[in-house]
Every structure is written in C-alpha cells, then in structure tokens.
C-alpha cells in the first residue's frame, strides 16, 4: 500500500500529536528525594554555640618580656649615663620610681625620698597617676624620648595582675599614637612611654 502524499495532517493525527507532545511534570516519585537536614543543622548549631561559649579565642593577647636577672639588671641596652634608666619598684604601699638622677619623691615632682605613687585611700594602686608621672619623666629631657625600657622589681607577695596593670600603665598614654611595627616588632609613636619591660629580682 503506498504512502499518502501531500495530504495535510488529519484530525486524528493532529489529535495524536497534541497528546504526545503535551508537557507533563514528572511524577512525585520521579523527582530526586530531598534530604531532611533539620536534625543535622540542630547538631551543627549546638556544636557551634558550644565552641563559641567555651573557647575565648579572640579575647586573649600576649605581652612580650625579657628574662629577669638578679640585681635588677635585666636584658637592658642602656649604658649611657645621660639616659633616664627608669626603674620601678612595686611595694605594698605603692610604686616607687628611680632614675639616673635618683629616687623620685612622692608626687613625682622632684628627686627625694618616699614612695613616688602611693596607693589610693581604698588600697588600690594609682595607675593613672603612674602614667602621668612616666610621661612627665620622659618629657623632662629630649634625650629621654627614645627610651622605651623600664626595669621592674616587686615585693615577693605582689600579685601577677598588679604587674600586668603596671605594664599597662607604663606602656602608653595615647593609644592612637603608639603601635607595634609589624617588621621590627618594636613599639613606635609619640604616645608610647615605656612599653619594654625588664624584670629584676631584688636581693
């Protein structure tokens, strides 16, 4: 039987074409199954909260210091007699400061006897006065501007927290103008006071 030629599509053929060419969404069973991740996310969230609550990563820092030496020498590079040679003694009554000129008297005004920065009336150390006194001593002579070292000695019973507070007070009086150079790891800026601390042991 020969094929029909040049006839248009019959209604039956058009109907069949419409039926066969109709787009059908895939049946639910044909779709890829979705993963239920809610229990997984619960576990992840619990772990993250636990980690954040227990590990105080971002709240820590370190202070770099040199080894102590008996007699209060420390790893000091100061040898010139016209340098400040600042030494601090933390006692139970306050903080005493000593320079090449001699012991700094109470009130940080002149050389003389007494505790330079006595404790406050409530028994706490007056670290703000200590910072002002350090600035005053450093500003007395232009030659002292480059000095960044202080040797600290303390009574046996002075707590570590007091030492850290002392280092904070002596480090700088203007944080905007004092920073650590990334390459040399040295403190630079006009706002720096005595950020390099050497420990000494009184004998």
Residues of this chain that interact with another protein (CB under 8 A) are 3-14, 16-18, 20-23, 26, 31-32, 34-35, 37, 40, 44, 47-48, 51, 54-57, 59-70, 90, 154-161, 163-165, 167-168, 171, 175, 180, 199, 201
Contacts 24+ apart (CB under 8 A), 184-188: 185/64, 186/148, 187/148
Cα(first)–Cα(last) distance of the chain, in Å?
Answer: 125
What is the closest distance, in whole angstroms, from the C-beta atom of residue 22 to another protein in the complex? 6
Assigned token pair, 48: 């993250």
Q: What are phi and psi of 115, to 5 degrees?
A: -75, 130
Tell me the CB-side half-sphere exposure of residue 5, using CA atoms within 13 A: 2
What is the closest distance, in whole angstroms, from the C-beta atom of residue 15 to another protein in the complex? 11
What is the closest distance, in whole angstroms, from the C-beta atom of residue 134 to another protein in the complex? 15
> Which residues does residue 102 pair with via DSSP β-bridges, in sequence order?
99
Q: Which is nearer to another protein, 69 or 99 (CB)?
A: 69
Q: Which is nearer to another protein, 40 or 140 (CB)?
A: 40
Q: Which is nearer to another protein, 84 or 90 (CB)?
A: 90
What is the closest distance, in whole angstroms, from the C-beta atom of residue 97 to another protein in the complex? 17
What is the closest distance, in whole angstroms, from the C-beta atom of residue 141 to another protein in the complex? 26
Q: Which is nearer to another protein, 53 or 142 (CB)?
A: 53
Burial class of residue 202 (count of CB atoms within 10 Å of its CB; 0-12, 13-18, 19+): exposed
- For 91, the enclosing helix (H) or strand (E) is none
Assigned token pair, 112: 């003389």
Q: Which is nearer to another protein, 18 or 142 (CB)?
A: 18
Q: What are phi and psi of 90, to 5 degrees?
A: -95, 115
Q: Which is nearer to another protein, 138 or 171 (CB)?
A: 171
What is the closest distance, in whole angstroms, from the C-beta atom of residue 89 to another protein in the complex? 11
Strand 187-188 and strand 196-201: the pairing is unpaired
């Amino acid at each position: 039987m020969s094929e029909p030629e040049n006839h248009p599509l019959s209604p039956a053929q058009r109907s069949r074409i419409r039926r066969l060419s109709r787009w059908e969404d895939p049946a639910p069973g044909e779709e890829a199954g979705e993963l239920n991740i809610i229990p997984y996310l619960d576990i992840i969230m619990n772990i993250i909260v636990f980690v954040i609550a227990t590990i105080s990563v971002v709240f820590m820092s370190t202070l770099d210091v040199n080894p102590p030496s008996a007699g209060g020498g420390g790893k000091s590079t100061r040898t010139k007699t016209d340098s400040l040679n600042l030494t601090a003694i933390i006692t139970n009554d306050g903080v005493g400061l000593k320079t090449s000129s001699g012991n700094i008297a109470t009130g940080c005004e002149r050389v003389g006897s007494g505790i330079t920065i006595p404790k406050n009336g409530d028994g706490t150390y007056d670290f703000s006065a200590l910072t002002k006194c350090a600035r005053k001593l450093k500003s007395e002579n232009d030659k002292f501007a480059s000095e960044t070292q202080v040797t600290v000695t303390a009574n046996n019973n002075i707590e570590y927290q007091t030492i850290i507070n002392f280092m904070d007070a002596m480090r700088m009086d203007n944080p905007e103008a004092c920073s650590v150079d990334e390459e040399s790891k040295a403190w630079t800026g006009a706002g720096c006071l005595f950020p390099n601390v050497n420990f000494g042991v009184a004998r």
